[in-house]
Amino acid sequence: MNPIADLDILADTTAPVSSAPDAQSEIDQPRTVAASAEAPNGRRVFIETYGCQMNVADSELVASILGGEGYGLAATEDEADVVLINTCAIREKAEDRVRGRLARFRAQKTKRLAAGEKDLTIGVLGCMAERLRTKLLDQEKLVDIVAGPDAYRDLPNLLASADETGQAAVNVHLSREETYADLTPVRYDSNGVSAFVSIMRGCDNMCAFCVVPFTRGRERSRPVTSILSECAQLVEAGYKEVTVLGQNVNSYRVDADGHAVDFAELLYRISLLSPELRIRYSTSHPKDCSDELLHVHRERPTVCDFIHLPVQHGNTDVLKRMRRTYSREQYLELIDRARAIVPDIAFSTDIIAGFCGETDAEHADTISLMEQVRYDHAFMFAYSERPDTYAARKYSDDVPEAVKKARLSEIITLQNAVSLEKNRQRIGRREVVLVEGTSKRSDEQLRGRTDSNHMVVFDRPAGLAKGDYALVEVTDCSSATLHGTFVSATTLEDAAHPSAAV
Ligand code: 5AD
Ligand code: SF4
């Protein structure tokens, strides 16, 4: 779950590298079902998820849809009657990894059938579905069902049809309306503390490098009432943090009773639900990051002072080639404005090295922008050409792999140094930490996040549990983690108004 920066990964220039404590924008390792559940119809599904947080949220919807039809969840592929891979197409490597898994499942199916054991139905969901369906179905005969991101309601039919006919079943239709607004996701992989809430689907931006508009279709926003009621249910169930998700959340817009609700207002309304519910969001496009939104950060203590604001590149000409619709200067102005309105706001970003035609001087501009902004975290990628995109059609992927690798390496080295310096500046500060569980290294230590999304590890005091807020004094750090000492248990309300708590 945690693609922490590892220089070995540079051998693979298409893999994401993160300086973040946990992946905000990308999951490099698959997520799988945590526990088995009842299977009233006698069939168990194993779901493996690749890609972004949206895919995780979608897999939770798939579990809900299939659960409604009597399917249970399998904790391993061996227990399963059906395996579904929710796929990512954002870089070539992500696709390669999924094909490897499919081939393995196919071998398992063949083995089972030869041994006279129960059949294994294999399905591909998500972003690879549309593009690779012919290949996966006809040429390689790897899968039994294929369902695109807007076709999950059809999954029970597709499964039944594949079962009855022995023929592959496909639905890759992209919708202009589907938001799955009425469904309650099954949070099977959740820590019970923080949850993803999907608020919109698709993307209309057409950045030159990005395959998402082709795989996920047009942008559409989910109604406010269904978002608020899902968040209220999460509060009721004891959740303490929601991350609202969309490919470009800042362009969220719906008409509610003749009144337009934009993203700033949506966040404001979510923040009224509970004084103890932290709110984060991902991912945002700099072009739509409004002052109203920044003021919501400032005014609402539960809206975390952290923004994932992908810059992609530091040079205006490259940004133009990428069709990002802002210049270096406009991006830097936005960062300054955000810091003026919300002092101490933390930023993470996405950066692509080696985009088409990138010169040494243009790459140097990315480095200088990083030095200027000083991100808390970054997700750093080597450019990987994706079929059908504007860049694939119009430009040549002409930066040699070795140069991409070297530039990415320079970017990662810089970011790791900046992350470490920024973390060091937090030593001595007292941070409000939401406890997410025990530390990966020791049961005697707890792990949680600050408002600014920094991971903190500290010795477990008696009585403190997952889902509690704690005031922790930072005593040490690495580039990825803060270490601290427990000061006291707290609430978000008390932490926001310390004098009122006395
Ligand atoms: N090559 C490399 N990185 C890409 N991203 C999107 N498309 C590509 C591509 N073709 C990165 C962008 C985006 C993040 C989710 O993935 O930085 O913000
Ligand atoms: Fe892709 Fe750009 Fe849309 Fe993000 S905003 S999903 S990078 S097209």
Are β-strands 44-51 and 72-73 bridged in parallel, bridged antiparallel, or unpaired? parallel
| Ligand lying nearest the CA atom of residue 404 | 1
List Cα–Cα distances, 498 to 183, 291, 432, 448, 501, in angstroms. Answer: 39, 27, 12, 21, 5
Q: Would you list the domain boundaries of the chain?
A: 17-171, 194-383, 430-500
Instruction: Kindly give the distance from the C-alpha atom of residue 276 to the centroid of ligand 1, in angstroms, as a whole number.
Output: 34
Residue 345 phi/psi, 5-degree rounding, is -65, 140
284 lines ligand 1 (CB under 6 A): no
Strand partners, 447: 437, 457
Instruction: Kindly give the distance from the C-alpha atom of residue 70 to the centroid of ligand 1, in angstroms, as a whole number.
Output: 37
131 lines ligand 1 (CB under 6 A): no
| pLDDT for res 499 | 61
For 98, other C-beta atoms within 10 Å of its C-beta total: 26
Which residue reads 């992350």 in tokens? Answer: 419
| pLDDT for res 95 | 83
> Any idea what the Cα angle at residue 84 is, between residues 82 and 88, rounded to 5°?
170
Q: What CATH fold (topology level) applies to the domain 430-500? A: OB fold (Dihydrolipoamide Acetyltransferase, E2P) (2.40.50)
DSSP characters for 293-335? HHHHHHH-TTB-SEEE---B-S-HHHHHHTT-S--HHHHHHHH
- 57 with 27: CB under 8 angstroms? no
For the chain, residues with pLDDT lower than 50 are: 1-16, 20-27, 501-502
For ligand 2, pick from 207, 209, 289 the residue to mutate: most ligand atoms within 8 Å of CB. Answer: 207
Instruction: Kindly give the distance from the C-alpha atom of residue 210 to the centroid of ligand 2, in angstroms, as a whole number.
Output: 6
* Ligand 2 binding residues, C-beta < 6 A: 203, 205-207, 210, 212-213, 247-248, 285
1 alpha carbon, distance to own chain's centre: 11
| Ligand lying nearest the CA atom of residue 14 | 1
227 alpha carbon, distance to own chain's centre: 18
Q: Which two tokens stand for residue 300?
A: 């609402």
Instruction: Kindly give the distance from the C-alpha atom of residue 323 to the centroid of ligand 2, in angstroms, as a whole number.
Output: 10
The residues, ordered by sequence, that sit 6+ positions from 116 with a Cβ below 8 Å of its Cβ are none
Instruction: Kindly give the distance from the C-alpha atom of residue 285 to the centroid of ligand 1, in angstroms, as a whole number.
Output: 13
Q: Which two tokens stand for residue 97?
A: 């990894």
Strand partners, 377: 348
Q: Dmax over Cα atoms in the chain, in whole Å?
A: 71
Closest CA to 197 of 56, 80, 297, 72: 56
> Residues 263, 264, 266, 269: what is their CA dihedral angle, to the nearest 10 degrees?
170
- 375 with 349: CB under 8 angstroms? yes
For 343, other C-beta atoms within 10 Å of its C-beta total: 9
Helix then strand then coil, in percent of the chain rounded to 5, is 35, 25, 40
For ligand 1, pick from 26, 28, 90 the residue to mutate: most ligand atoms within 8 Å of CB. Answer: 90
**Cα–Cα distance measured from residue 351 to residue 286, given in angstroms and rounded to the nearest whole number:** 13
Task: Pick the atom of ligand 2 nearest to 211's CA.
Answer: 1
| pLDDT for res 175 | 94
> Residues 452, 457, 462, 467: what is their CA dihedral angle, to the nearest 10 degrees?
40
Q: In this structure, which residue's CA is closest to atom 5 in ligand 2?
A: 205
| pLDDT for res 18 | 53
**Cα–Cα distance measured from residue 220 to residue 149, given in angstroms and rounded to the nearest whole number:** 13
Instruction: Kindly give the distance from the C-alpha atom of residue 262 to the centroid of ligand 2, in angstroms, as a whole number.
Output: 19
| pLDDT for res 257 | 78
Q: In this structure, which residue's CA is closest to atom 14 in ligand 1?
A: 350
310 lines ligand 1 (CB under 6 A): yes
Segments in 52-91 forming alpha helices (H)? 53-67
The residues, ordered by sequence, that sit 6+ positions from 358 with a Cβ below 8 Å of its Cβ are 313, 318, 383, 399, 407
The CATH architecture one would assign to domain 194-383 is: Alpha-Beta Horseshoe (3.80)
When the candidates are 1.10.1040.10, 3.40.50.10310, 3.40.50.12160, 3.20.190.10, the CATH number that belongs to 17-171 is 3.40.50.12160
Instruction: Kindly give the distance from the C-alpha atom of residue 209 to the centroid of ligand 2, in angstroms, as a whole number.
Output: 8
For ligand 2, pick from 26, 203, 322 the residue to mutate: most ligand atoms within 8 Å of CB. Answer: 203
128 lines ligand 1 (CB under 6 A): no
Q: Is 472 exposed, middle or buried (0-12, 13-18, 19+ CB in 10 A)?
A: buried
Q: Which two tokens stand for residue 87?
A: 């796929």
Strands (E), 52-201: 72-73, 82-87, 121-126, 145-147, 169-171, 194-198, 200-201
Residue range 250-277, pLDDT digits in tens:
999 999 878 999 999 999 999 999 999 9
- 119 with 43: CB under 8 angstroms? no
Instruction: Kindly give the distance from the C-alpha atom of residue 283 to the centroid of ligand 2, in angstroms, as a whole number.
Output: 9
| Ligand lying nearest the CA atom of residue 309 | 1
Residue range 283-319, pLDDT digits in tens:
999 998 999 999 999 999 999 999 999 999 999 999 9
| Ligand lying nearest the CA atom of residue 408 | 1
| pLDDT for res 351 | 98
Instruction: Kindly give the distance from the C-alpha atom of residue 381 to the centroid of ligand 1, in angstroms, as a whole number.
Output: 7
| Ligand lying nearest the CA atom of residue 219 | 2
Task: Pick the atom of ligand 1 nearest to 391's CA.
Answer: 10
Segments in 184-321 forming alpha helices (H)? 212-216, 224-236, 263-271, 291-299, 316-321
Task: Pick the atom of ligand 1 nearest to 26's CA.
Answer: 15
Instruction: Kindly give the distance from the C-alpha atom of residue 276 to the centroid of ligand 2, in angstroms, as a whole number.
Output: 32
**Cα–Cα distance measured from residue 376 to residue 449, given in angstroms and rounded to the nearest whole number:** 13
